[in-house]
Amino acid sequence: MNFKAMSLISAVALALPTFGAADPVDDQLVINEDIEIVTKTTAAPHLEGHLDEVMSGWLFRSDSTRDMERDDFDNPGMIFAEQGAEIWNTADGTEGKSCADCHGAPEDMAGVRAVYPKWNEAAGEVRTLQMQINDCRENRMGAKAWGYDKGGSMPMEALLASVSRGLPVNVEIDGPAKETWEKGKEIYYTRYGQLELSCANCHEENYGNMIRADHLSQGQINGFPTYRLKNTKLNGSHSRFKGCIRDTRAETFNPGSPEFVALELYVASRGNGLSVEGPSVRN
């Protein structure tokens, strides 16, 4: 075998994922000794034939990473929630309004994060939480929309997630949202890129295994937005979707795109019954 052929074989071997056995821990998450988080529960009926049980990504992390979520003082994601609280009470835009002027205290929004993405009848579309926030900014505050997974979007989503912690994810997929959900499901099972991998290949068929140095979870997004130790910042679910598809060596969709809105709806529905956990901490 010549040198070029050997180099090609080596390159292909390095590109392909390699899996090794590992298991999620059996642990309980209670935040601030007060907020009980459901990290494992029976899968929703629409996952029949795919998953029997759904598990938070928290169960797949190391002891030290899991411990960071047990207390808000140790959770770096809560810094962004605090920033979100400042934004919440600050007037912005031509109308001179703040979020608090219409919605009251952030705690009054408990439960909102748990039901997004959701169908918006007036707009005739499924909206993510960030899309709804920008609708308020543009049409009620007269303020400029934030970029998707950028700027004020991340602190605001962290704030709204934090006041819903412990409440069950309950994303509706029937009725007018069904078409978008089906589109998201199709994307989830579609193989992308030179590696020809789908979301399901890693997060349904191989969760609990090691892919090189990473412990694969079920890819649940009940903990988003999430502070990643890898890049030391708060990350949105669409940015994580983009990174996953990019890692298959494919041209990816962009955060806020219709494709990722559909994918978020589908993936969020896979976590129905788990607790809202964000801002979480992950590798």
CA atoms 238, 130, 219, 184: torsion sign: negative
Q: What residues are annotated to the active site?
A: 244
27-59 burial, b if ≥16 CB within 10 A, otherwise e? eebebeeebebbbbbebbeebeeebeebbbbbb
Whether 175 and 101 have beta carbons less than 8 Å apart is answered as no
The neighbour count for residue 100, using CB atoms within 10 Å, is 15
Would you say 240 is a known binding-site residue? yes
Would you say 202 is a known binding-site residue? yes
Report the distance separating Cα 128 and Cα 139, nearest Å: 17
Would you say 249 is a known binding-site residue? no
Would you say 46 is a known binding-site residue? no
Would you say 215 is a known binding-site residue? no
Whether 52 and 218 have beta carbons less than 8 Å apart is answered as no
Would you say 137 is a known binding-site residue? no
Would you say 203 is a known binding-site residue? yes
List the binding residues for heme c: 99, 102-103, 136, 199, 202-203, 244
List the binding residues for substrate: 240
List the binding residues: 99, 102-103, 136, 199, 202-203, 240, 244
